[in-house]
Structure 1
Amino acid sequence: MSQLNPPPTGNSRVVPGSGGNRLLSPVIQKFPPSAFSFVMATGILSTGLHLTGHSAASVVLLWIAAASAVLLTAALLWRAAAYPGKLLTDLNNPAKTFGFFTIVAGANVLGLRFDLAGFPEATLWLGITAGLLWAALNYGIPCSMLLRERSTPILQDANGSWFLWVVATQSMANALAVVARATGNAHLGAAATAAWSIGLVLYLLVGTLVTLRLLTLPNRPEDLSPTYWIFMGATAITVLAGAKLLQMPTEFPVMISTAGFVAGASYALWALGLWWIPLLLVFGFWRHVIRKYPASYETGMWAIVFPLGMMSAASISFGRGESILMMEHIGEVGVWIAAAAWAGTVVLMLISCLHWLRGGNRPA
């Protein structure tokens, strides 16, 4: 019996019902911080389909996203209870820790879609929950990175997942703007604009750091992961947040002061996001075709789907609000590209799950 159920070692401990679960325990131990990127990708694709009038498919994806959020939350709590040491290790790892911001962004993307479905209360409560976690991560991660003794430079761990800091911040701007518009609260409108501004400056900061890492250190195929698509996704969610800000009452004092800047900066970032796409495709071609890195399922693939869906939803929302038909048409086409990417990634994910269930050595 002791061979089948050895005592916990290292930084794991057994909780009721989990000690003998040899099927799920490996998955829970390796549960990635960025797992909620599936919720982000599915939720924003649901939003894009809703904006283009495909209500049935949009509702199906909404409930898939909501159900997956519940399951992933349960898995995260299980990991925190059974393997707290592994969770803390990820929190203290600069290459992985920003992945926890997917929880914040996932909650707010769901909240945005629930608002479109006519459930503003869900948007409010998801936003409050996300806001509390955002505050903890927003200050906890930089303090952990900068105040702990390290033997290697932090910059060598910079990667595309760092842009999730921007994405989560702009998701808070989206949530605050939606609630401010619904309640007519000018103070919330000011807070939404402040969050958008913080996200804008964070994009410049993180973009500089990640670009320096790309230019100063060797780039291996494993380094150029799909998370670099968040370089584009961060611009897209900034554009969507800008569209939500511009939908707030024009008599809000903050809008009187900043509406022109928000509109201009959002359009500039939209153009920058489109500019990134060909370069990101080249990165992928170099990684998989030239350097022959295996194209198997990884959680980071949702970091491709989410930016595509977000760019589409942002283009439609901003284009309609500002009467820029070109943006709207690009977004309508982009929704189907994002849908194809979502479907393809789901297929690869299911294949990976089947491989694992049949005795493969990689948890799905």
Structure 2
Amino acid sequence: MQSQPAASVPALADLSPACFAMVMATGIVSLAARMHGWRAAAVALFGLNIVAWLAFGMLTALRATRYPGRFFGDLIDHRRGPGFFTTVAGTAVLGSQFATFGLPAPAAFGLGAVAAVLWFVLTYAIFTAFTIKEDKPTLDQGITGGWLLAVVATQSLAVLGAILAARSAQPWKLELNFFALSMWLWGGMLYIWMMSLIFYRYTFFRFAPSDLAPPYWINMGAMAISTLAGSLLIVNAPDAPFLQALLPFLKGFTILYWATGTWWIPMLVLLAVWRYVYKRFPLRYDPLYWGAVFPLGMYSAATHEMILALQLDFLSWVPPLFLGVAVLAWTTALLGLGRHLLRLRRTA
């Protein structure tokens, strides 16, 4: 009877900062399923996502209060700190679900406000800490694909802002579209900064199988969500004069983001084969694997919206294909989570 609490203590203390990646992945698979008419699956995943968001929110709050040293130590850690941006992206994606499923607007606006506050606090807390801390890792030890979660968090606010703008009256429509445009532009600039460092680390430092963590799929996912935000802004252009004036720019950069994300897919598949087949790296459950599910679902949703925004009907075969892959990956990750929880229970 005394061993169970003792076993539960390290489980909470070691809770991954990227735990909200499951919320991100479940949310975008739900939204993509709804786009393709899978109404029952979309609603079921929506309900599950609400439960997951509440559960991880409570666990994160408990960890911050019971183990503040571990919590804030992770916040300023170069490898683990960016994982906190999943909190922002998960909250914004859930807000997009509330808005898209036609539920009362205050819920979506409330989640958007929470996500925006979290984005502001985490962005300036994490990057200020990385700047002023005295002991810093070298580039090859400090940066990972997980850093691009900061881009995903930024673009998730752009997506939610554009969705809310389409469902709001003036003058909120103009203000929300301007907010979405600003976040979209900043997210694109942030990707350029970070991807330059990540690509440099890829090509000029030794790369071990253990270095290829699942969040490297965010290389593609960050571009996919940028494509989705750009497509939504194009659709909203008739309601905002400044978007209308920028329409050629919006269309060009949206295709640029989609093409960049598409380029990453074969590269990431090859690296995964090298890691798991050639190097025989063990495949064990890790919360970070949800960060690999999210880009697949996002690529499906983003391509679907881009086709509608730019009339690219010849790409219509792409979204259902990647939705199927995303559902398979989501199911695999869920089974892995179930086995992991059973293992923890046996240990307790």
Q: Which of 166, 174, 177 is equivalent to 2:159?
A: 174
- For the residue of structure 1 that corresponds to 2:320, the secondary structure is helix
Q: Which of 265, 278, 282 is equivalent to 1:294?
A: 282
Q: Which of 79, 101, 106 is equivalent to 1:95?
A: 79
Name the CA shift for 1:332/1:80 in 2 (closer, same or farther; >3 Å). Answer: same
- Report the RMSD for the aligned CA atoms in angstroms: 1.7
Contact 1:44 1:313 in 2 (8 A): yes
Residue 195 of structure 1: aligned partner: 183
State the distance in 1 between where 2:210 and 2:204 align. 17
- For the residue of structure 2 that corresponds to 1:34, the secondary structure is coil
Identity rate, percent? 33
- For the residue of structure 1 that corresponds to 2:347, the secondary structure is coil
Residue 204 of structure 2: aligned partner: 216
Cα deviation 1:165-196 (Å, max 9, x = unaligned): 10000011111112222223212211211110
Contact 1:156 1:217 in 2 (8 A): no
Contact 1:193 1:254 in 2 (8 A): no
State the distance in 1 between where 2:314 and 2:7 align. 50
Unaligned runs of at least 5 residues, structure 1: 6-19
The answer to whether structure 1 residue 115 and structure 2 residue 99 are counterparts is yes
- For the residue of structure 2 that corresponds to 1:248, the secondary structure is helix
The answer to whether structure 1 residue 345 and structure 2 residue 333 are counterparts is yes
Contact 1:320 1:328 in 2 (8 A): no
Contact 1:48 1:335 in 2 (8 A): yes
Measured after TM superposition, the shift of residue 46 of structure 1 is 0.3
Measured after TM superposition, the shift of residue 152 of structure 1 is 3.4
Measured after TM superposition, the shift of residue 249 of structure 1 is 4.6
Residue 21 of structure 1: aligned partner: 5
Which stretch of the first structure deviates more once superposed, 21-30 or 129-138? 21-30
Name the CA shift for 1:151/1:164 in 2 (closer, same or farther; >3 Å). Answer: closer
Query: In proportion to residue count, which structure has more helix?
Result: 2
Q: How does 1:97-246 map to 2 (within 5 A)?
A: 97-119=81-103, 120-154=105-139, 156-183=141-168, 184=170, 185-246=173-234
The answer to whether structure 1 residue 273 and structure 2 residue 261 are counterparts is yes
Which stretch of the first structure deviates more once superposed, 188-197 or 75-84? 188-197
Residue 40 of structure 2: aligned partner: 56
Contact 2:237 2:247 in 1 (8 A): no
State how many pairs are aligned. 344
Cα deviation 1:98-147 (Å, max 9, x = unaligned): 11000100011111111111023222111100000101111121110011
TM-score (norm 2): 0.95
Q: Which amino acid is 1:92 matched to?
A: I
State the distance in 1 between where 2:137 and 2:38 align. 50
TM-score (norm 1): 0.91
Residue 313 of structure 2: aligned partner: 325
State the distance in 2 between where 1:238 and 1:325 align. 20
The answer to whether structure 1 residue 258 and structure 2 residue 246 are counterparts is yes
Name the CA shift for 1:345/1:22 in 2 (closer, same or farther; >3 Å). Answer: same
Unaligned runs of at least 5 residues, structure 2: none
Cα deviation 1:251-272 (Å, max 9, x = unaligned): 4122122122111111121122
Q: Relative contact order, CA 8 A, sep 6+: which one is greater? A: 2
- For the residue of structure 1 that corresponds to 2:285, the secondary structure is coil
Q: Which of 295, 299, 305 is equivalent to 1:307?
A: 295
Contact 2:34 2:42 in 1 (8 A): yes
